[in-house]
Each structure stands twice: as structure tokens, then as C-alpha cells.
Amino acid sequence: MLISRRSLLAAGLAAPMLSSRALAAPETLKLRDLYEKGGSFSDLARASEGQRLTIEGFMAPPLVAEAPFFVLTKMPMATCPFCEPGIEWPDTILPVYTRRTVEVIPFNVPILARGVLEMGEYTDPETGFWSVIRLREATYERD
Amino acid sequence: MKSILTASLLALTAAGAVSAQDLPQASSQWYTDGQDLLASMLEKQDNTGRALNVILFVADGNGVASNYMSRLWAGQQAGGLGDDHVQPHEAFPELALVKTYNINAQTPDSAPTAGAMNTGVKQRFNLINLGEDAIHGDCATEAGNELTLFSEMMTEAGKSVGAVTTARLTHATPAAVYAKTANRNWEDSVPEECTDSRDIATQMIDAMKAGTLDIALGGGARYFVPEGTETPNGGKGHRPDGVNLIEEAKAEGIQYAADKAQLAALDLSQPVLGMWTDSHASYEADRPETEPSLADMVETAISKLSMNENGFYLEVEAGRVDHANHGTNAKRAMIDGKAFADAIALADEMTDDADTLIIVTADHEHAIAMNGYCGRGTPIDGLCYDVAKEGIMHSDELVTAADGKPYTVVGYLNGASSVLMEQADGTYAAPDGRPELTQEEAQDIDYTQQVLIPASSESHSGVDVALYAKGPWAHLFDGTVEQNYIFHVMNHAVNAE
């Protein structure tokens, strides 16, 4: 009885996850797709500048509350050790500027972020966050 | 029971070697391999000569479990099952277990552990090479507590000294070769009131100028370059005092390299400083071809240090095994473990067992463990396959937990990839249970293992680490020893009459 109930629950849980992935799969990128070894931007990133992309990752805990901004990390990151100006740019994070104020998702829950890829140095006047690449006009959802 | 056992053994012994050949298992390769190893052990001779050179290999955070993971990874990458693979250091003749705790910490930190190896005494948490009365973060306690370093003693003996790492050169393990500080984080500055203290980068360049450090290779250039100044790697300097230590070093005749090609072109008769990155060097999995591997660095260091006919002391750190473990990213840890093994093999090739003591160890273990029960050949970077009833290879069935979901071989007790998610009310829970996991997801280079306790970073653990050794006086490593004992064997080996 217990096994049947568990199987039912698993099937019920798996179905929406599968459909979400199936929809996103053809165009979902990983953060590492944006970089070459050594940290330079990949051809794919350069070719995608200005285009709307979907990138998988995790939402780092917010730097500021109630902001249309979060940091997408390629692995769960409870703090953002690189989130300060002047440090060499890491290829493990991507700033995401969202259409709406961010509703925080726990840092170890997989998400998909979709937005327009923008490149070039930029210091956020609100947060002081410095970046060389980012998503603009973004939306996000649990993966 | 005991008497029965004794009687059986006596009967077997009385029957002698002839009956051993009659054992039903005598033709098994397991049996003959065991006999071959026994024969080589019976031939083993202690080396009691004086050590000309000492090489101390430290893979940061590479305890027995992490080393096991690297063994299986290397073996499986070579096309084997993994568990029967022998890493270069695992073929060394001498072995000990090492207790790694600090004076005031059951769970050790990398600064005092490296310091213990370099001074012969245990040290306090987060301090480097200061005596037991020094206090973390209190620079006033540095004076009077500074210990004498093995590197300084070797310089006094006419030997050359080197430090090689895949971490920042100012990070704890390499810093223990040359620095003394009340805070391991004072990498490029000290508090304003600490006017008699020197940051770790300054201490490193001072050691190179003084001749107590002859070659230093690794990452971390930002701590040697002022804020507002570009580093040789194209990044931004971080030193608040405005001093450009790289330019100072060059002015003193120290050769500098910022990449692999520049390193190859250096005059090795002069002191050598190389930093390929502004912070830590790359994980092996991410290393560009322009950046030297750990083996490349070891090759250059031994080539240079061997120019001194009086010998050398070289400490080599695989620093990023630790970082990947902290990130619960087991795959990068095992790939860096393989790079560590490659560097050991090269050092062994380049030196003579008769006059070079090689020690391979770790500074501490992590909160890492292996799940079971997995069949032979289960990918160490993936999900656990069941044991097959016939043959050797695992079955095609994944082992599932009580929740009906598969799990990886490698796990951690704590870390950022906890299965517990923060809820809206601030509590942590897993309402949907553990995440589903496919083999493809588990083997992804960026996959982080499922762990229990949520934490910003996975922690070290106090579990013993192994120590493998060969060369003069390596046989003094035996049993379970304190970490500071390593210094005493090194010092005995280079001074033996």
C-alpha cells in the first residue's frame, strides 16, 4: 500500500517536471556555454548578444530585497563571494535583470532564467554590482 | 575458540609451504598476486641514507575517502573498473595514518595543518606558523610566537626551496612554507593598527628576496598588484597599500611568468615567480592550454631546484580538490585528484629514490562519504548500480533508496546542495522529497551532490588522512601519527649521518 502510494506520488510529481523540461530543452543553455576555458566569451555567447536565451542554474540569495535583479549561479551558492566590484569576473554566475520584482526562490532549487543577453561592462547604480555579461528583460521559473 | 584457531594455524604451519600449493584457491590470480606482493615485501630494505631532497605533496582536503574517489576516477578513465587501479603514491612502500586536528579545533583548518608539517608543532585554528600562545586576528601576539620554518632551516643548510600550488600562492598551504601570521586571511593587507605585521604576499616576496624561497608557482596575482593597476593576467589588482610587489620582485632579478609559454622561456638559474591567474589557478577540468598544469609546475620546479647540488625542499599543493569538495562538486575534485597523481608520478620519475624523500599526504579530510552497495565498475562520478549475481560488472539496475529514487556513489554530509530547501517561513524542509536524478545529470561536470545539512559551504572533517612515502627514512612513517611528526621525519632524513 505504501509502495503504491509512493509510486503514485512520484508519477504525479514527475509529470509536470518532464513537461517543463521538454518545453525548455531545445533552447536551454548552461552557464558554461557562454564561456571558453580561461574565461573568455564563447562564440555562442558573442553570436547570441541581443537575443533572448533560456539559461538554467540557481538563484543566489538576493543582494537587496524587493529588486528586479538576482544572480544566476551554475551551482547552488548560499552566498555570492564574487559579488563585489573589481574582482576578476567569474564564469560561474550571471546577473539577471528581471521584468518584475524578484520573488526569491531558495538558492538550491534549480531554475530557468529567460532574457536578452547583454555584454559589456556595467555597474548597477542601485546595487553597485559590476558585471561584464547579463540577462535583461528576464523572466524565470522553477526548472 | 582461540585454542581451536591456534591449533588450526599450527596444523597449517606444520604442513608447510607444500600444502599451500594444494589450497583450492592457490591458482586464483588473487592468491598469486598476494604471494607476489608478499615476496616483494620480504625483500623490502629500509633506506637509511641522508636525504638530499625532500618533496612534500599535499592535496588539500584529500583524505582517505577523497583519495578513494580519485583512484576510481583515474582507473575508470583508463578503461578499468577503477577499484583495482593503483595511483602512483599508492605504490609507495611506506604508509601511515595522520591525525589532523589543531590545538583548539577537532575539525582542522588548512593553515595550522600545513604549519604543523612545516614547523614540527601543532598550531591554532586560522593561524600560520605561530606558537600556541598566539591568538587568531591579534597581531600583537605575533611577536615572540614566530616559529622557525623547515624552509628556513633548509636554506641555512644550503638547499633551495620551492612552493607550488593550484590555489593562490598566498593561500594557507603554500603560505605555510614561508609566512608567519595571526590570520590566514591577511593575504594582501593587515589591520591598520598592525604596523609591525606584514601581509602574506609581502612576506612571500620578502622570502624570495632573502633567498629562503627560490621558486613559487601558482595563482593569486591580484594580491601582489595595487588597486587600480592591471595584473599581468589582465585583471584588477587588490592591494590597498599601492605597492606593486611583482614589479619589486622583477627589480630584484626575480624572473616572472604569467602563463605557460612565459614559464618555459625563463632563466631557471634565477629565482622564479609565476602566477597564471588573479585568484586560484583553474580547476583541471577548466584549465586553458595557456595555463600550466600541476605536473607542468612540478617539472619546472624540480628542474630549477635540482640545479643546487646541495639539494632542495619542495612543497606541492593540489589546492582545488578542497575547493571542489567545499562546493560538493565531486567530479571536479576527482579530476583534480587525477592531476595530483600525475604530478606525483612525474616527480618520482625526475628524482632518485636513493636520495629523495617523497611524502604524499593531505592536510585534512572533508565531510564526504561513499554510498553503497554498488557493483564493480559503477561510475564513481555517477549513480550507484546494483551488484550482479554473476560475473564481475555491476547489474543494469540502479540501486534505489527507500523513497524509490536512485542516488550517487559520492555524498557529502553538509553543503549548499542540501536536499532541504528554505521555505517561505524560513524553515528548511523537503516537501517533495529528494530531487529526481538521472545518470546524465549526475555525471555533469557542474553537478553538486545531494547532501543533508544545509550550509553555505561544505565543511572539513577531523577524520584521519593517509600518508604515503618513499626514499630515505620513509620507513619512519608507520602506524597512526600526529601531523606535526611529518616535519620530524623530514628533518631527520636531511640530517642523518
DSSP B156-170: HTT-EEEEEEEEETT
Q: Count CB-CB contacts under 10 A for residue B397.
A: 12
pLDDT value of residue A92: 82
Q: What are residue B103's phi and psi, to 5 degrees?
A: -50, -45
Q: Name the band, by pLDDT with cuts 50, 70 and 90, for residue A87.
A: low
From the list B91, B117, B46, the residue with the least C-alpha distance to B471 is B46
Quick check: A142 contacting B, CB < 8 Å?
no
Q: Name the band, by pLDDT with cuts 50, 70 and 90, for residue A137.
A: very high
Q: Spell out the residues 6+ positions from residue B138 whose beta carbon is closer than 8 angstroms to its own.
A: B182
CB contact under 8 A, A86 and B227: yes
Q: Name the band, by pLDDT with cuts 50, 70 and 90, for residue A60.
A: confident
- Closest partner residue to A78 (CB to CB) among B286, B423, B456 is B456
Distance from CA of A122 to the nearest CA of B (A): 16
Q: Which amino acid, one-letter code, is at B113?
A: T
CB contact under 8 A, A75 and B417: yes
From the list B368, B360, B327, B337, the residue with the least C-alpha distance to B463 is B368
CB contact under 8 A, B288 and A36: yes
Distance from CA of A73 to the nearest CA of B (A): 11
In angstroms, rounded to a whole number, what is the distance separating the alpha carbons of residues B358 and B219?
24
Residues in A touching B288 (Cβ below 8 Å): 36-38
Q: Which amino acid, one-letter code, is at B444?
A: D
From the list B368, B341, B332, the residue with the least C-alpha distance to B460 is B368
Residues in B touching A78 (Cβ below 8 Å): 416, 454-457
Q: How many residues does chain A have?
A: 143
CB contact under 8 A, B287 and A37: yes
pLDDT value of residue B15: 47
Regarding beta strands A52-59 and A69-73, do their DSSP bridges make them parallel or antiparallel, or are they unpaired? antiparallel
Q: Name the band, by pLDDT with cuts 50, 70 and 90, for residue A77.
A: confident
pLDDT value of residue B480: 98
- β-strand partners of B257: B274
Q: Could you tell me which chain A residue has the CA closest to the CA of B326?
A: A77
Residues in A touching B435 (Cβ below 8 Å): 110
pLDDT value of residue B6: 46
SS3 B29: helix
Residues in B touching A7 (Cβ below 8 Å): 404
In angstroms, rounded to a whole number, what is the distance separating the alpha carbons of residues B479 and B485?
12
Whether residue A79 contacts residue B456, with contact meaning beta carbons closer than 8 Å, is answered with yes
In angstroms, rounded to a whole number, what is the distance separating the alpha carbons of residues B257 and B263?
5
pLDDT value of residue B369: 97
pLDDT value of residue A81: 54
Using one digit for the tens of pLDDT, what is the confidence trace for B112-131?
A: 999 999 999 999 999 999 99
pLDDT value of residue A80: 60
Residues in B touching A106 (Cβ below 8 Å): 421-423
Distance from CA of B422 to the nearest CA of A (A): 6
Q: Which amino acid, one-letter code, is at A117?
A: L
Q: At what angle do helices B330-350 and B64-77 cross, to 10 degrees?
A: 80
Q: Could you tell me which chain B residue has the CA closest to the CA of A57?
A: B446
Q: Could you tell me which chain B residue has the CA closest to the CA of A106?
A: B422
Interface pTM, i.e. ipTM: 0.73
CB contact under 8 A, A108 and B454: yes
Q: Name the band, by pLDDT with cuts 50, 70 and 90, for residue A4.
A: very low
From the list B292, B272, B294, B279, the residue with the least C-alpha distance to B216 is B272
Distance from CA of A39 to the nearest CA of B (A): 9
CB contact under 8 A, A106 and B327: no
pLDDT value of residue B74: 98
From the list A41, A44, A100, A93, the residue with the least C-alpha distance to A67 is A100
Three cell numbers written together for B317? 599543493
Task: Number of A to B CB contacts under 8 A, please give it.
Answer: 69
Distance from CA of A77 to the nearest CA of B (A): 6
- β-strand partners of B412: B368, B451
Quick check: A62 contacting B, CB < 8 Å?
no
Topology of A27-142 in CATH?
A: OB fold (Dihydrolipoamide Acetyltransferase, E2P) (2.40.50)
C-alpha dist (Å) from residue B271 to B163, B199, B212? 12, 21, 10
Could you give the domains of chain B? 53-366+460-495 (3.40.720.10), 368-458 (no CATH)
Beta strands in B131-193 (DSSP E): 160-168
B138 alpha carbon, distance to own chain's centre: 29
Interface test with A, best of B290, B403, B417 (most A CBs within 10 A): B417
Residues in A touching B277 (Cβ below 8 Å): 88
Torsion angle of the four alpha carbons A36, A38, A39, A40, in this order, in degrees rounded to the nearest 10: -60
| Stretch (H or E) spanning B412 | strand B410-415
From the list A127, A1, A118, the residue with the least C-alpha distance to A60 is A127
pLDDT value of residue B7: 47
CB contact under 8 A, A37 and B282: yes
Interface test with A, best of B331, B446, B451, B453 (most A CBs within 10 A): B446
CB contact under 8 A, B286 and A87: no
Whether residue B209 contacts residue B166, with contact meaning beta carbons closer than 8 Å, is answered with no
CB contact under 8 A, B282 and A87: no
Task: Walk along chain B (497 residues) and give the pLDDT tens digit of each residue.
Answer: 444 444 444 444 444 455 667 899 999 999 999 999 999 999 999 999 999 999 999 999 999 999 999 999 999 999 999 999 999 999 999 999 999 999 999 999 999 999 999 999 999 999 999 999 999 999 999 999 999 999 999 999 999 999 999 999 999 999 999 999 999 999 999 999 999 999 999 999 999 999 999 999 999 999 999 999 999 999 889 999 999 999 999 999 999 999 999 999 999 999 999 999 999 999 999 999 999 999 999 999 999 999 999 999 999 999 999 999 999 999 999 999 999 999 999 999 999 999 999 999 999 999 999 999 999 999 999 999 999 999 999 999 999 999 999 999 999 999 999 999 988 898 999 999 999 999 999 999 999 999 999 998 899 999 999 999 999 999 999 999 999 999 999 999 999 98
Residues in B touching A13 (Cβ below 8 Å): 432, 436
Check whether the bond before B373 is cis (ω within 30° of 0). Answer: yes
| Residue B113 CB-density burial (10 A; 0-12 exposed, 13-18 middle, 19+ buried) | buried
**The sheet that has B451-454: what strands, in order across it?**
B368-370, B410-415, B451-454
From the list B152, B157, B213, B496, the residue with the least C-alpha distance to B357 is B496
Whether residue B155 contacts residue B211, with contact meaning beta carbons closer than 8 Å, is answered with yes
In angstroms, rounded to a whole number, what is the distance separating the alpha carbons of residues B234 and B273?
17
DSSP A108-134: TSEEEEEEEEEEEEEE-TTT--EEEEE
Q: What are the boundaries of each domain within chain A?
A: 27-142
Whether residue B338 contacts residue B39, with contact meaning beta carbons closer than 8 Å, is answered with no
pLDDT value of residue B96: 98
Residues in A touching B235 (Cβ below 8 Å): 88
Regarding beta strands B53-59 and B312-318, do their DSSP bridges make them parallel or antiparallel, or are they unpaired? parallel
In angstroms, rounded to a whole number, what is the distance separating the alpha carbons of residues B139 and B412?
36
Q: Name the band, by pLDDT with cuts 50, 70 and 90, for residue A2.
A: very low
SS3 B230: strand
B202 alpha carbon, distance to own chain's centre: 25
Supply the residues of B annotated as catalytic: 110
Regarding beta strands B465-470 and B94-99, do their DSSP bridges make them parallel or antiparallel, or are they unpaired? antiparallel
C-alpha dist (Å) from residue B299 to B162, B215, B318? 12, 12, 14
